[in-house]
Amino acid sequence: MRKKIVAGNWKMNHDLAETEMFLVDLKKQVFPEHVITMIAPPFTSLNHAFKSLREHPVTLIAQNMHQSNNGAFTGEISAKMLKSVGADTVIVGHSERRAIFNEDSALLAEKVNTALENKMTVIFCIGEELQDRKQGNHFDLIKTQLSEGLFHVSNDSWENIIVAYEPVWAIGTGETASPGQAQEMHKLIRETIAENYSKAVADQVSILYGGSVKPDNAAEIFGQPDVDGGLIGGASLQVDNFMKIVNAFNK
């Protein structure tokens, strides 16, 4: 059975005091056993969150990392540093990193390698712009992003890879892919992994949907056969909304 995952990506939100308020509330919640709950606070809150959540079934994610293990890279954070503060999972290739920080596929492939070498789990994000969809390029673009970013890894590495399909036009816009559009793309992603590796590998990979997932649309999106959960931005910043999405798998 594939893992069901709901991951909150806080982006550049919540300082330490706000993180603490979130955690106090989060720790009062009952977590469903069949869903893996994850949160990605900013670097500055990771260790505090790790210590605070020790007794709770919440996985900590880092939002980014550098591709080198150490060195003269002022302002950057390495895989080893992340692991030392309690984050064994990292988001790579978020569309904001690709667009705003010019991270291209070659760089992202390096980050994937470094994360895997450091025995981290990677949440690898892919997604098309509205223009690509309008021009009918969206399927090819997703295949290219998969192949350039991930298809150099070994069969075994897929145990530590989660794919997140996040159409850029749906991120933070309030516009969501329809459940049918999400399923269509997730199915294509799984088939493409199967063609390049094997059906067994493809069948075990969790593929998350991201882009304006909210409490009122989560159940329908998560109900699609190839959607194994969500990467949640805006709606993950507040515990009540976030837990409604985590619990959407119960319906």
- Contacting residues toward ligand PGA, per CB under 6 A: 9, 166, 171-172, 210-213, 231-235
Task: Return the number of other C-beta atoms located less than 10 Å from residue 90's C-beta.
Answer: 25
**Cβ proximity to ligand PGA, 173 vs 204, nearer residue:** 173
Q: How near is the Cβ of 1 to ligand PGA at its closest, in Å?
A: 24
**Cβ proximity to ligand PGA, 23 vs 126, nearer residue:** 126
**Cβ proximity to ligand PGA, 12 vs 72, nearer residue:** 12
Q: Is 205 left (phi over 0), alpha (psi -120 to 50) or beta?
A: beta
Instruction: Scan for tokens 């760089």, then name that residue.
Output: 107
Q: How near is the Cβ of 171 to ligand PGA at its closest, in Å?
A: 4
**Cβ proximity to ligand PGA, 86 vs 230, nearer residue:** 230
From 128, 138, 166, 186, the catalytic residue: 166
Three-state SS annotation for 132-190? HHHCCCHHHHHHHHHHHHHCCCCCHHHHHEEEEECCHHHCCCCCCCCHHHHHHHHHHHH
Active site residue 166: yes
Q: How near is the Cβ of 111 to ligand PGA at its closest, in Å?
A: 17
Long-range contacts of 242-246 (CB under 8 A, 24+ apart): 242/6, 242/8, 242/26, 243/26, 243/29, 244/215, 244/218, 245/6, 245/213, 245/214, 245/215, 245/218, 246/6, 246/31, 246/32, 246/35, 246/37
From 14, 66, 94, 138, the catalytic residue: 94
Q: Is 244 exposed, middle or buried (0-12, 13-18, 19+ CB in 10 A)?
A: middle
Q: How near is the Cβ of 172 to ligand PGA at its closest, in Å?
A: 4
The residue sitting closest to ligand PGA, measured at its beta carbon, is 233
**Cβ proximity to ligand PGA, 189 vs 213, nearer residue:** 213
Q: How near is the Cβ of 155 to ligand PGA at its closest, in Å?
A: 28
DSSP class of 86 = T
Q: Is 6 left (phi over 0), alpha (psi -120 to 50) or beta?
A: beta
Catalytic residues: 94, 166
